[in-house]
Chain A
Amino acid sequence: MKDQDYELLSQYLDGELPTKETAQLEQRLGADSELRITLASMRSIDSAVKASYRNSGQAPAHIGAMLQGEESNVVAFPRRSRAAASWQYAVAATLVAAAGLLLVPDMNRSSEALLSAALDEASSRASGWETLEDGRKLRPVLSFPDKSGTWCREYLVTDAEGAQRGVACRDDKGWNTVVIAATEITPNDDQLYRPAGADDDSSVAKYISENAADIAASAQQESELIASDWQ
């Protein structure tokens, strides 16, 4: 096969072949099985190359912390799983609206009870919402142990007035919110990527970075925790 054919196939594979040349190549591919086979092999090579890099993309937590940082209280977490890297990013990307920091608000008892019951049972999720009995929507975001070994969960909750991001920790009576702040959910709230502009010293992110003793629980760990009543 000519070098030029390798170049055409290669550009085609990368979506970099101009329209006219693409049409010509596709015609040739229909008629030339050697060309087709080479293209298929190139595709397989690409997949294999991508797969071989799959474990190379987890930046150590302390390097991520450098970017988040000023006087870092961030503990150098051991890098255990992909969840760790995206957890760091979720914390960094927390949005807090300019107004409206509430610390341990005077929450209505029954609304706190509904939240507590839901946090006890619902798995963390990257998108979508649980609906509480009072119509509010809840999204548990992640679970982590604090320095005293207590399990805490970051969550989002929305009601008619807007959205809040908070952390609740569990004692033997249930989940108690320890910090909460107004936040913004973008229209495409199902995207993991949040718009830039978050304050790094948001109260919720700060709470987590100061109190978390370890990386966020994996989905598997969390299921086990939920099943065992968070023991």
Chain B
Amino acid sequence: MSALNDLQRKALMAELDGLRRFCYSLTGSAADTDDLLQTTVEKLLRKGMPEDAHAGKWAYRVCRNVWIDELRSRDVRKRYPESVTDQVDVAPSAEYVAEGERELATVAQALKQLPNEQRLALTLVTVEGKTYAEAAEILEVPVGTIMSRIARARKNLLEIYTPPQMVDQE
């Protein structure tokens, strides 16, 4: 039924959670995340993967391309996802939120304010544990570009978000 063999399906199953997080990074919206994930899996099942392809890179690349196509077909010109005001992801009012959760909501919002390519590069490496080389393949840019996007992402985040504890490590 599918163009994928058993090994490839297993490999994709193992990547599924990471892929979902990547979908969330791409779309910035809880509603679009599962749609994108599903469309990606459907496409992979339909078209298959080359024998020597690494699921951890190929699937991510397909996912990103599906999203790019989706954006084009929505004729979206904005650089940032709609969901800066996505109610699902905005923290409820402060009285009801514990200190720790308020900080998390802030970093999530800060992430959304980053340019897409910075957020994607950063989350691929810090959240999904990809190497710079792997992230470069997924996003189809040179390794040096990954490096500078991540550095800029971190610098920007530091400017708009103060992490809770800054301790002099010495």
Interface string of B94-126 (1 = CB under 8 A from A): 000000000110011001000000000011011
Bound complex: CA A30 to CA B20 (Å): 40
Check if B147 sits within 8 Å of A44, measured CB to CB: no
Q: Which of A1-39 contact B (CB under 8 A)?
A: 3, 6-7, 9-11, 14, 16, 30, 33, 36-39
Check if A93 sits within 8 Å of B10, measured CB to CB: yes
Chain A residues within 8 Å of B103, by CB: 48
A residues contacting the other copy or chain, number (CB 8 A): 50
Given A16-B147, A63-B34, verify A6-B17 contact (CB < 8 Å): no
Given A68-B9, A198-B10, verify A59-B17 contact (CB < 8 Å): yes
Q: How far is the CB of B38 from chain A (nearest CB, A)?
A: 5
Which listed residue (A33, A52, A57) contacts B20, Cβ 8 A? A57
Given A40-B169, A52-B111, verify A10-B41 contact (CB < 8 Å): no
Q: Say if the beta carbon of B166 comes within 8 Å of chain A.
A: yes
Q: Say if the beta carbon of B3 comes within 8 Å of chain A.
A: no
Check if A200 sits within 8 Å of B168, measured CB to CB: no
Bound complex: CA A89 to CA B16 (Å): 10
Q: Which of A11, A45, A58, A68 has the most CB of B within 10 A?
A: A45
Q: Say if the beta carbon of B57 comes within 8 Å of chain A.
A: no
Q: How extensive is the interface on chain B, given as a class? A: 35 or more
Bound complex: CA A104 to CA B49 (Å): 39
Check if B6 sits within 8 Å of A200, measured CB to CB: yes
Q: How far is the CB of B12 from chain A (nearest CB, A)?
A: 6
Q: Is the interface of A mostly helix, strand, loop or mixed?
A: helix
Q: How far is the CB of A102 from chain B (nearest CB, A)?
A: 23
Interface string of A44-56 (1 = CB under 8 A from B): 1111111111001
Q: Say if the beta carbon of B84 comes within 8 Å of chain A.
A: no
Check if B17 sits within 8 Å of A50, measured CB to CB: no
Q: Say if the beta carbon of A178 comes within 8 Å of chain B.
A: no
Q: How far is the CB of B162 from chain A (nearest CB, A)?
A: 8
Q: Which of A198-213 contact B (CB under 8 A)?
A: 198-200
Given A53-B21, A53-B24, verify A48-B155 contact (CB < 8 Å): no
Check if A57 sits within 8 Å of B21, measured CB to CB: yes
Check if A10 sits within 8 Å of B150, measured CB to CB: yes
Given A14-B125, A36-B169, verify A67-B24 contact (CB < 8 Å): no
Residue of B nearest to A79 (CB): B34
Which listed residue (A44, A59, A67, A199) contacts B45, Cβ 8 A? A67
Which listed residue (B1, B17, B155, B157) contacts A58, Cβ 8 A? B17
Q: Which residues of A contact B (CB under 8 A)?
A: 3, 6-7, 9-11, 14, 16, 30, 33, 36-42, 44-53, 56-60, 63-64, 66-70, 85, 88-89, 92-93, 193, 196-200
Closest 3 CB pairs of A and B: A44-B163, A57-B17, A10-B151
